[in-house]
Every structure is written in C-alpha cells, then in structure tokens.
Chains A and B, each alone.
Chain A
C-alpha cells in the first residue's frame, strides 16, 4: 500500500505547473476565451513538442510515451489550476481514449501518431440535443456496411467540435436500441455534409460545437454494433480525467479565497479572523483534499484498468463536481462585491466548475450510476 506520487511524477507536476503558469496567465485566458477558436495553436504545438503532453499516455507503438492515467491526471490538475484554454481534454481524454478503446491496432496506428505529435486536434461527438450521457441518448443512425458508412443527424455539446480535424462520432445501427448497436466512426473535420456551429458557451474557457451531419461519409472504428463497452469505458476514463482537472481548479479557488481572507480588513481585522469566513475556508480545504483523494485513487484505478474503475470513476466525478462548485461559489462569497465583477477571475472558475460538473453527467447522475454499479 503506497499512496504517494513518485519523484518523477512530482517532477512532471512541477514542470507542467511552471509551463501552465507562464503560458496561461489570466490575461491569456481572457484573450482566448473571447475567440471562437478558443486556443493558441503555438502553445498547443509547444505542449506536444516540448513537453510531450499529448503523447503522454498513448502507447509507445503509436508515437506515445506509455505513461499512465496517473501522469495524465497530474497534467490535467495543473491545467485545471490555470483554466488552460485548449482542446486537450477533447483530443487526449475523449477522442484518443475512444480510439484506443474501440479501434483496431491498425486504426490506432493510423490515428494516434497525429495526436501524439500535436498535428491532430480531435473531438468525440457522442452527446445529442437530448442531453443524455448514456446509451439511450445516442439516436443518430449510421447506415452502410464494411468500410463505407454514412451518418445523418445532430451531435450537441461536442467539446472543440468546431476546430477538430478528426471527429470520432458515436452512432447506432438502424433499429437498434440501448447498449446494442453502438458504433464508432471517424469523420474528417472538413467532411462534405458536415455543418459545424460554434456555440455560445456559459463557460467561455471550454468551447463546444453543434455538429449537423447530412449524409456524411464515415469510416468505422472497430466493430460497428459492439461499441458500447468501449464507449462506457471511455466515459469512465474521461470522468476520472475531469475529476483530476477539477481538483486543480478547486485548489486554486481555495488559494484565492484564503489569500484574500488574510488581507482584506473590515471592522479593524482581517476577514479571515472571523469564524464565519475561517470555517468556510476550512470546509473548502476538507472538500478539496477529499476530492484529491478520490481523483488520485481513481486515476490509479484507471491506470491499472482494474474492475474498480466504473465505481471509482462515478465516485470521483460525483464528489469532485460538488466540491469544485462549492469551492468556486464560496470563493465569490468570500470576495464580496469584487468577486462579482467581470474583472476578477472568480467567475471564470465558477463557470468552469459548473461546466465541468455538467460534462459527462452531474453529481446526481453519477450517484445514481454508482448506486447501480454497487448493486443498490
């Protein structure tokens, strides 16, 4: 039993943390969030070429470095701290995992090297306007056979779907329902018949698109019809990833709140000396630390790919969603009026906390999923 990061992992955290702090200061986040594209291609390239972040947990055979979800979690936590505006989550935590879970070795060999090198920005299009995060939400039908399929329908809430060059689409065989008939397909971002609309997101630091498909030609990824297991696993892995990203943000808002509580003076004393404020901070710390315990443990389970993964993925997603939102909300309260301004960063974290909570299913959804998974 050992619950500690190794020295190498600590070094990775330090290096990535430094990079993020210098490349993604508040001014940069604010500049990028006002753009439609939503990220800086030069930084994206540096992330791939100098730090090897996109290739971190991809297999060595396909241009990756063969690290695990524990290292990926560290990177995401550091990104979460600075609200990095980037298609990293969509590319690495959703699309790449889907390709690894669903694709044949040959298909992985085709698709992963581009992601590893930073040349490919990828997205996973699975949610639809119905807003469901499970198999029942997938209604888009795929028609065809062999290597030639066409897609018809609409995908919503697709992270970075408007900028991705490669889009992994989840659809189902005509007439199928539930977990049956699910298939993965690969579509080029510029494919004919694909209409992409950038959406006005509540959280401007993470972009979403609506994708309308009319007769779009698509190549299958893995066995069409048997995709549910791969999708379910992809969603669990993504839940673990977002949980790790969320604890980074939660730590950051706690730091902001504590810092302010030490310097802001009212009634002749720092507001942090009032128990009403001090106790809020203490509760935030408890939740942030608990969230870390959950997120790190979940990252380990994902790294091991053991049978605990589905349970701990929902566990971590549920807890960290609530913890981050609570911390982000308390941070605004502790800052008073200044915390309500556009100028102050508090609202950026508040909005990121909310969008992360919604993404992949909120805490209520994951508690119910967990109840089912532990046999309640």
Chain B
C-alpha cells in the first residue's frame, strides 16, 4: 500500500503537466473546464482541442502501442485525469468513442476492425454514439426490437433508438440490434456499427430539462452497414453490449469523478465568498461532500488496484456507479442550499459569487434558459442516477451478483 507516485509515475505526471502547460493556452484555456453534459459550449473548439490530444496520443492513452496508444497503466490514466482536471482543461467530446467503444473494440474486435476504427477516434475525425435504449427497452435492455437483416454484403436496419446522446454530432453508432428474428430476450442480438451519415438514419433532437438538447431520437429506415461491421459474433452480441456497460460503470467516468473535486472546490469558494460557511448546516454539508469525493478517489484507486490483480472488472463496478451518481446529485442539491434565495435565478455565481444574480430574460431571445454551473450540476445530476443503469438496477446487480441474494421471481 503506497499512494505516492513511483519515480516513473512522477516522471509521467511531469510530462502531462508540461504538455498541458504548453498547449492549454489561448482560446483553449479560455474554454475553462466548460462543456460536457448539458453544456455544448464551444463544441467545435473542443473538437479542435481534442485533436491536439489525439496527435500526442493523450487520447487513446490506454490503448496498446500497436494501435497508436501509450499502453498506459491505470495509475497513469488516473494521473492524466487528475492533471487534466487540475488544469481546468475542456470537457471531452470523444467520451463515447474513447471511453466506451474503444475498450469494447479492443476486447472483442478483429485486428482489421481495430485498425479501421481506432485511428479515426484518435484523430477525432469520427465521433461515436451509443444506440442501446429504445422506447420499450430501457432498464430492460434485452427487450430491444430494432431489427437488422442481411442483404448480400450489407445489414439493413429498421427500428428506433431513443435518448441517444450526441447522435447529432456522431459519425458512427454502436448499436444493439436483433439479428435473429425468432429470438427474444438477450439471445439473438448483435452489436452493429452503423454509419450515421446516410439517408436511412434520421436524428431528431429531444430537449432535456436542462433546456439543452444533447440526446436524440434516432430512426433507422432501411439504414445500411457493411456485413463486417459486427463486433463479436452475429446474434451473440449481448456479452459485447454488457462489456461496454462494464466500462461505462467502471472506468469511463473516472476522469469525470476527478473533475468533481473541482466542482466541490468551486462550490466551497462560492459558499465562503457569500458567507454561507458561517451556517453550521452548510458546513456539515460541505464537509460531508468533501468526505464523499475523497472516498470516491480512494475507492477508485482500490478498484483499479484490484483490476490490475484480477484483470477484469466484475459487477462490483456497480458500487462505484451507484456511489458517484448519488454523490453528485447530493452536491447539486447542496449547491442550491448554498445559494439560498438566489437559487431561484439561474445566473452563474461561480463567475461572480456575491453580485446580485442577474439572468435577464428578453422576448424572442434564442434561449432564455441558460444554466449557470451550479444549476447545471443540480439539474444534470438527476440524469446520472438514470443512465448507465439506474440506481435501482445497480442495487439489483449488487444484491444479486455481488452479495448473491436470490433473484426476483420472473
């Protein structure tokens, strides 16, 4: 047990810092830590920034060197994410490609598939989205009805996905489809890779409670993709889909969690400047959030150390997902406590903690509902206990697969 950097880790940390200091300047630095969930702020600029990351292989850090990565250890990935958060670098646009699809591709893809898709993720020429949920397949993902049938050298896809984040930005979709028409449940599903830019794919934005529209409905009407664009075996895609969920619940949000420390720090500063820290209840709440975010970090390190030993992340990753989503939701609620009456106005108190809150409304403006950072956390965090497996589903998984409690009668 030793939480200090080894000499190699220290050198790696210095390299990350130096790189960020050299590149995170000008308009990129001006983005601050902005962007990300419910904030499409500076999307195109963030794409440009991410291309820099890709060029120097910070995007794809963990991939094997033969696929353009740095083969970074978990410790190095944590170090990178820590320094990235500390530097207040922009939120990432390649989350679905780098965080979810790439590790699945590395585990289940053919060499050819890896060479086809990984470089374009790294060069940020191709963004990805996740086509899992459907109107009748949410928590019960195995209920997927979108169909794909082979027509010569191509799959023809028909059906509808929903809540598809960034589908309007993505070039590709990794998609759970039913390829065995006689099947039901988790049998007969395939993990298809579908290009988004084609006549058979229609993307309709859905506006969220945050006022932004990042998720979409996606309609497939005779959409096509090459026969080779299946990850894993045809009609045996459930385990591939689950592997992606494993990454989503396990390692993918690690960097986001390191960003949480910054959010709390910002909130503490707002509270101090506004004099809210004189209130004993607010003090208790801020201290409790601090405890929670530190434990998130310790548990993350414990999980990764275990991962190094065992090689795979089991259902234990649900514990982390349940933990961080709850912590963040509570932080959002506490931010509103800190703001007191000013919480009723959506202005951004981080920029100016003690000014009168001004968020002026003008008729005919493009949007009169632009959330300040604390309100964004307060609202967006409501989705975090729903996506990537709701908290109820995580508790079922923990109960049944970690603790071995009996399943519900079905």
Contacts and interface: CB of A to CB of B under 8 A. Distances in A.
Interface in B352-403: 392, 394-396, 398-400, 402-403
A282 B409 contact: no
Interface-central residue, A4, A272, A371, by most chain B CB under 10 Å:
A371
A283 B395 contact: yes
A266 interface: no
A277 B294 CA distance: 29
B356 to A, nearest CB: 25
A68 B329 CA distance: 38
Nearest to A312: B294
Nearest to A364: B284
A292 B5 CA distance: 22
Interface in B327-344: none
Nearest to A6: B1
Contact of A289 (B4, B319, B395, B407): B319
Given A1-B75, A293-B299, A367 B409 contact: no
A371 B283 contact: yes
B291 A318 contact: yes
B290 A374 contact: yes
Given A319-B291, A368-B280, A4 B1 contact: yes
Interface stretch (A46-54, A218-226, A294-302): A294-302
B284 A367 contact: yes
B295 A3 contact: no
A282 B280 contact: no
Contact of B294 (A272, A285, A315, A376): A315
Interface residues of A, number: 44
B5 to A, nearest CB: 7
B394 A282 contact: yes
Interface in A97-122: none
Given A319-B295, A367-B288, A281 B283 contact: no
Interface string B76-102: 001100000000000000000000000
A281 B405 CA distance: 9
Given A4-B1, A368-B280, A376 B409 contact: no
Interface stretch (B40-48, B186-194, B301-309): B301-309
A290 interface: yes
A258 interface: yes
Nearest to B294: A315
B250 to A, nearest CB: 14
B295 A272 contact: no
Interface-central residue, A1, A289, A294, by most chain B CB under 10 Å:
A1
B268 interface: yes
B316 to A, nearest CB: 8
B404 A4 contact: no
Contacts of A37: none
B178 to A, nearest CB: 29
Contact of B291 (A296, A315, A364, A368): A315
Interface string A250-294: 000000001001100000011011110111011101100110111
B240 interface: no
Chain B interface size band reads 35 or more
Nearest to A308: B3
Contacts of B309: 4
B408 interface: yes
B136 interface: no
A6 B309 CA distance: 12
Contacts of A258: 403-405
B253 interface: no
A1 B301 contact: yes
A297 B305 contact: no
Interface in B1-31: 1-6, 9
Contacts of B108: none
Contact of B398 (A70, A282, A294, A318): A282
B235 interface: no
A370 B290 contact: yes
A274 B405 CA distance: 10
A259 B191 CA distance: 38
A22 interface: no
A322 to B, nearest CB: 9
Given A290-B295, A319-B295, A281 B403 contact: yes
Contacts of B75: 1-2
A367 B283 contact: yes
B321 to A, nearest CB: 10
Interface in B316-330: 319, 322-323
B78 A1 contact: yes
B1 A273 contact: no
Nearest to B402: A285
Contact of B399 (A282, A296, A319): A282
A261 B400 CA distance: 12
Nearest to B327: A290
Interface string B289-301: 0110011001101
B409 to A, nearest CB: 6
Contact of B305 (A2, A270, A277): A2
A3 B395 contact: no
Contact of B295 (A5, A277, A294, A374): A294
Contacts of A1: 2-6, 9, 75, 78-79, 301, 305
A371 B290 CA distance: 9
Nearest to A295: B298
Contacts of B228: none
A4 to B, nearest CB: 5
Contacts of A3: 1, 3, 298, 301-302, 304-305
B150 interface: no
A273 B286 CA distance: 36
B1 A282 contact: no
B290 A5 contact: no
A300 B3 CA distance: 8
B322 A269 contact: no
A275 B408 contact: yes
A294 B298 CA distance: 7
B277 interface: yes
B287 interface: yes
Given A282-B396, A294-B294, A296-B298, 19 more contacts: A1-B2, A1-B5, A1-B301, A2-B1, A2-B3, A2-B305, A262-B406, A273-B408, A275-B408, A281-B399, A282-B395, A286-B398, A294-B291, A319-B291, A368-B280, A368-B283, A368-B287, A371-B287, A371-B290
Nearest 10 interchain pairs by C-beta: A278-B399, A272-B405, A282-B398, A367-B287, A282-B395, A293-B298, A273-B406, A1-B75, A279-B395, A293-B299
